[in-house]
Structure 1
């Protein structure tokens, strides 16, 4: 069983990934750390508490993290996830009066350093928390088991600019720190996320399940009540339910679902039109040492089937 910290900014796609990870017997989720991204960090933290509550996993602590990138200002995605971050789903915050002190980076460091080589980071959000952990603790990068991050694009286009993915664009300096750290790093980018979605058949199976998490995932995009509306979230309804973060969990569970190559990756920090781009060296022509395992393809059907089965298996809250 792999012990993991999930760094997250829920986010509908984060919710799908978290529901799967928290239901899996193959992953021991040590904590959720939160960061700005899809929404501000306060909303992300409340959403993380909602997610552990509906899954019955209140044993998993939620630690609040960074509110802004290392450089510049945050860029939220409320136009995709709605103002509350979790679409149309409504669930009370189980602990709205909890201490909102930012402790995620320190506790991430403490957890990794207390068990060197045993704890992995699944980063579903901008990499600010992870980069700060690396900078604050010199031994962090060689002590973490591996870092699997959602973001980047090798052979496809961006989703916030023509070349940049949201998580990298939101803190490219942090991404470069993580990639340069020497830690074992895997990029789960738009090359695979773009080829994964839950179909209407999967949504119907989730909706008909007695699982509270399965129903919650459907409600986030307004299924079935708002399925015919194209005013909000039209791409989620016409192309299937895109959950960009889910392949991170899928890769941690079964790398055989993916095509992976070890390549050299840099992050563009200065370009007027290219800031946040992951520059992936697809050949060795420039003689750069490979530093990242880059996922290039996915068995999207297998991942969608496995996610649907796992989330549908959660029968009641604990």
Structure 2
């Protein structure tokens, strides 16, 4: 059983990944840590609490972390996820007066250092919390089992700039610290996420199942009430429900769903048009020492089927 700390900024796609991870018997989820990203960290923390409760884990530790990047100001994605972060899903905060520990980085360090080589960090958000843990504890990078991060684009275009993915662009300095840390790393970037979506048929199956998590995912994109409205999240209806974070869970469950290449990755910090780009050396001539397992290709149908089955089965 894989022990996980999931670092997250829910986010509709985070919700899909979290529902699947929480429904799986393959993971022992130690805690959720939250960070700014899709929404402010306070909203992300409330959403993490809602997701854990709906998944039957109201006891799951949730630790709040960084509210801003190491350099500059945060860039939120409320235009995609709506102001509440989870689209049209309306679910009451199970404990709005809860005092959430705000020392996520220190607690992440304590968890990893108390069980060297056992805990994997699954980072579905900007890498600020993870980078701070690496800088504060010099042994952290060598003590974590693996860091699986969602972000980057090796052979495809970006989703916030022509070359940069949102999670990396939101804190390039943090991403640079992580890729240079020497920790075992897996990049789950847009090379695979762009090829994955829950089809309209999967969405209909989730709704018709009546399963609480399945219905919540549907409600996030306005299904079924807004399904015929061409102005409301149209790409989620014609192309399917894009859940960029889900392949992170899929990789942790079954790496054989992917093609994996060990390559050298750098983070561009200074380019006027390229800040936040993951610069991936695809051929040997550049002599960069490989530092990241980069995912290419995905068995998207198998992943969509597995996610749908897991969410429906978990009641």
If the length of structure 1 is used for normalisation, what is the TM-score? 0.98
Quote the residue 1:227 is aligned against: 227
Question: In structure 2, what is the Cα distance between the partners aligned to 1:185 and 1:124?
Answer: 13
Question: In structure 1, what is the Cα distance between the partners aligned to 2:138 and 2:214?
Answer: 41
SS class of match (2:43): helix
Shift of 1:225: 1.0
Question: In structure 2, what is the Cα distance between the partners aligned to 1:177 and 1:102?
Answer: 22
Quote the residue 1:285 is aligned against: 285
Matches within 5 A, 1:10-25: 10-25=10-25
Question: In structure 2, what is the Cα distance between the partners aligned to 1:192 and 1:29?
Answer: 24
Quote the residue 2:153 is aligned against: 153
Shift of 1:100: 4.1
Shift of 1:101: 4.5
Shift of 1:279: 0.3
Quote the residue 2:59 is aligned against: 59
SS class of match (2:4): strand
- Per-residue CA deviation, residues 109-167 of structure 1 (Å, 9 max, x unaligned), is 00001100000000000000000000000110000000000000000000000000000
Quote the residue 2:177 is aligned against: 177
SS class of match (1:285): helix
Alignment of 1:237 onto 2:237:
yes
Question: In structure 2, what is the Cα distance between the partners aligned to 1:313 and 1:88?
Answer: 23
Question: In structure 2, what is the Cα distance between the partners aligned to 1:34 and 1:237?
Answer: 29
SS class of match (1:28): strand
- Per-residue CA deviation, residues 46-103 of structure 1 (Å, 9 max, x unaligned), is 0000000111111211110000000000000000000100000001111111224521
Quote the residue 1:125 is aligned against: 125
Quote the residue 2:84 is aligned against: 84
Quote the residue 2:2 is aligned against: 2
SS class of match (2:285): coil
Shift of 1:230: 2.2
Alignment of 1:37 onto 2:41:
no
Question: In structure 2, what is the Cα distance between the partners aligned to 1:166 and 1:15?
Answer: 17
Q: Which segments of 5 or more consecutive residues in structure 1 lack a partner in the other structure? A: none
Q: Which segments of 5 or more consecutive residues in structure 2 lack a partner in the other structure? A: none
Quote the residue 2:191 is aligned against: 191
Question: In structure 2, what is the Cα distance between the partners aligned to 1:74 and 1:230?
Answer: 30
Question: In structure 2, what is the Cα distance between the partners aligned to 1:200 and 1:234?
Answer: 12
Q: Which runs of 4+ in 1 moved over 6 A?
A: none
Aligned length in residues: 315
Question: In structure 2, what is the Cα distance between the partners aligned to 1:60 and 1:217?
Answer: 20
Question: In structure 2, what is the Cα distance between the partners aligned to 1:81 and 1:45?
Answer: 15
Alignment of 1:200 onto 2:184:
no
Question: In structure 2, what is the Cα distance between the partners aligned to 1:128 and 1:227?
Answer: 36
SS class of match (1:249): helix
Question: In structure 2, what is the Cα distance between the partners aligned to 1:105 and 1:242?
Answer: 29
Quote the residue 1:295 is aligned against: 295
Shift of 1:231: 1.7
Question: In structure 2, what is the Cα distance between the partners aligned to 1:30 and 1:104?
Answer: 12
SS class of match (2:7): strand
Question: In structure 2, what is the Cα distance between the partners aligned to 1:219 and 1:295?
Answer: 30
Quote the residue 1:113 is aligned against: 113
